[in-house]
Homo-oligomer: A and B are copies of this chain.
Amino acid sequence: MRIIKKIFQTSRSHSAEDGIFFDKLTTILGFKPNNLEHYRKAFTHRSMNKTDEGGHAINYERLEFLGDAMLGSVIAAHLFSKVPTGDEGYLTKMRSKIVSREHLNELGKDFKLIEFVESKVSVQHFGENIHGNIFEAFIGAIYLDKGYSFCEKFIHKKIIKPYVDIDRLEGKVISYKSLLIEWCQKEKKQFQYEIYDDNGTGNLKHFGVKLHIDNKIVAKARATSKKKAEEIASKRAYFVFQSQIDTK
């Protein structure tokens, strides 16, 4: 009887934990995952020394390879169609910028993926690259779980649309904040960046910003520094007012 009770408890607690993981993933993904195991693997650090029944290591390192390849081809197809004037050298350079280690680290942080990492090493001991690595692994997990076309949609909706800006990458726009302030001053518009500490501490700390123009909130953003959050909010506002702002 005690054994039955124990099994029942384990199974229930496992389901509850799965439920929380499932809900959090659904929020990030924007769709319901099919197989949680791919995502668990994407967040399992090698220090856990996990293996499957065949003795194969279970950790995120192989998924990094897969995710990197999927990011590479989706971004390549995007650049190819978006920049019909760009030659092979230009396209290659732009893709490198988008999938740079620094950019992937930023993405991993913004998605707060490190919260999910299972590791025997303290999170404080990881270098910066852990963020980009688990981000790539996460993309690999999406591909395994849902296939290429879903993975491509995710990359478009959650990465390319909010983060990939070709003008910025080309160096045409250095700072959206200065561009926006300049425009507000010229147009005699009132603006205010309202900053608040977001939840999280240490590596996980985030800042939120609301950008008000003429007393209306026109954009919100969250990032790992105040400066970055302001820049992202400014960029979002820029796209709202794009037709009225002259970047030339």
Residues in chain A within 8 A of chain B (CB atoms): 54, 56-57, 61-62, 64-66, 68-70, 72-73, 76-77, 80, 84-88, 91-92, 95, 140, 143, 148-149, 152
Which residue of B62, B73, B86 contacts A86 across the interface (Cβ within 8 Å)? B62
Prevailing SS type, chain A contact patch: helix
Residues of chain B with a CB closer than 8 A to A54's CB: 84
A80 contacts B66, C-beta separation under 8 Å = yes
Q: Give the chain B neighbours of A86 by CB distance below 8 A.
A: 62
**Complex A-B: 9 CB contacts under 8 Å:** A56-B84, A57-B87, A61-B88, A65-B76, A65-B88, A65-B91, A66-B77, A69-B76, A72-B73
Q: Which of A57, A62, A92, A95 lies at the interface centre, i.e. has the most chain B CB atoms within 10 A of its CB?
A: A62
Copy total for this chain = 2
Report B-chain residues with C-beta under 8 Å of the C-beta of A68.
Answer: 76
CB pair A87–B69 under 8 Å, yes or no, is no
Given A73-B73, A148-B149, A152-B148, CB of A80 within 8 Å of CB of B62: yes
B87, A61: Cβ atoms closer than 8 Å: yes
Minimum CB–CB distance from A152 to chain B (whole Å) comes to 7
Give the residue among A66, A73, A84, A95 with the most B Cβ atoms within 10 A: A73
B69 contacts A77, C-beta separation under 8 Å: yes
Q: Which of A72, A76, A85, A149 has the most CB of B within 10 A?
A: A76
In the bound assembly, the distance between CA atoms of A56 and B113 in angstroms comes to 41
Q: Residue of B at shortest CB range from A69?
A: B76
Closest to A92 in B: B65
- A57: chain B residues within 8 A (beta carbon): 87
